[in-house]
Amino acid sequence: MIRRHELTDDAWVRIEPLLPADPGRGGRRRDHRQALNGIVWKIRTGADWRDIPERYGPRQTIYQRFRRWSADGTFTRLLEHIQVHDNAVGQVDRAAVCVDSTIVRTHQHAAGARKGRPEGTPGQRSAQIHQSRQALGRSRGGPTTKIHLAVDGRGPPLAFTLTAGNVNDCTRFTTVLEAIRVPRPGPGRPRTRPAQVIADKGHSSRAIHTYPRRRGIGATIPERAGQLAGRARRRHRRYALDPARHKRRNVVERCFNRLKHFKGIATRYDTLAAHHRSAVTITCLLLWLR
């Protein structure tokens, strides 16, 4: 019987061939599906590794597979494989890509990684470098992480990047767009250029409006009040904006809502940014498998 938060039979059939062979060192080999269900349970509930139910196997085995598959890119390959399949059957809508970001509160245990101090670096500066590398930023509510996300016109996530929570949205706009790589079902380079990109005022700047135009991408990004006032003073023409098209941006908000149904994503418990990135990748994979 399939329990809540576990992979369905259809989802398992699609991803099983891509999982690496377990090297094993003797003894009973733990089933990949059992371990993966334990990982999904942990992300869905936000519980500690030691609280994973016994039905998923030893917690050390589950954690070691999560750690190994995070390091060798297994989770990323699984997501790309599902995107290849859905792109082949016409389920990827690249006509309009929506970009936005969301803040994730960080649990106090997530800021406890060992802080290496480079030679000649003051202690406070070393802590700042450590937090930046682990995508942690200080704000009024404490340490936070920001997820910058790009989704297709239907809502499934195409690409994302993690930064500290105090990083401005517009500084990562081009990064998340360049991370879009939808592999083709046959030969040829991955698709990296959508027809249209839609974002909110937080992504408005001259450089951002120029970047899509140079790549032949239409942009629907409203300008802030200060930018509009500056254009009026200089008697410059405003950027064209289609209000009806801009309303489609709510698909990225709905995607964030689905992502944060997973308590391990709504609150960051992972100490390392690489592990939190893998948790977000697994959650994106589950959204594609629905």
Cβ contacts of 161 within 8 Å, gap of 6 or more:
147, 148, 172, 175, 176, 179
pLDDT in single tens digits along all 290 residues of the chain: 677 788 999 999 999 988 887 655 544 566 899 999 999 999 999 999 999 999 999 999 999 999 999 999 999 999 988 888 776 556 677 778 999 999 999 988 776 555 554 444 555 555 555 567 888 888 777 889 999 999 988 888 999 999 998 898 888 999 998 898 877 767 777 778 888 889 888 888 878 888 888 888 888 888 777 766 776 677 776 667 777 888 888 999 999 999 999 999 999 999 999 999 999 999 999 999 87
Residue 44 sits in the same domain as residue 105: no
Domain housing 263? 94-112+123-270
Residue 244 lies in a domain: yes
Residue 106 sits in the same domain as residue 243: yes
Residue 276 lies in a domain: no
Residue 211 sits in the same domain as residue 135: yes
Residue 156 lies in a domain: yes
β-pairing, 97-106 vs 218-220, is unpaired
In the chain, the amino acid numbered 272 is L
Compute CA distances 178 → 117, 169, 172, 207, whole Å.
32, 15, 10, 15
How many structural domains are present in the chain? 2
Helix axes 74-88, 59-71, angle to 10 degrees: 70
Residue 105 sits in the same domain as residue 47: no
What is the spatial distance between Cα 189 and Cα 186, in angstroms, rounded to a whole number? 9
Residue 261 lies in a domain: yes
The pTM (predicted TM-score) of the whole model is: 0.86
Residue 138 sits in the same domain as residue 254: yes
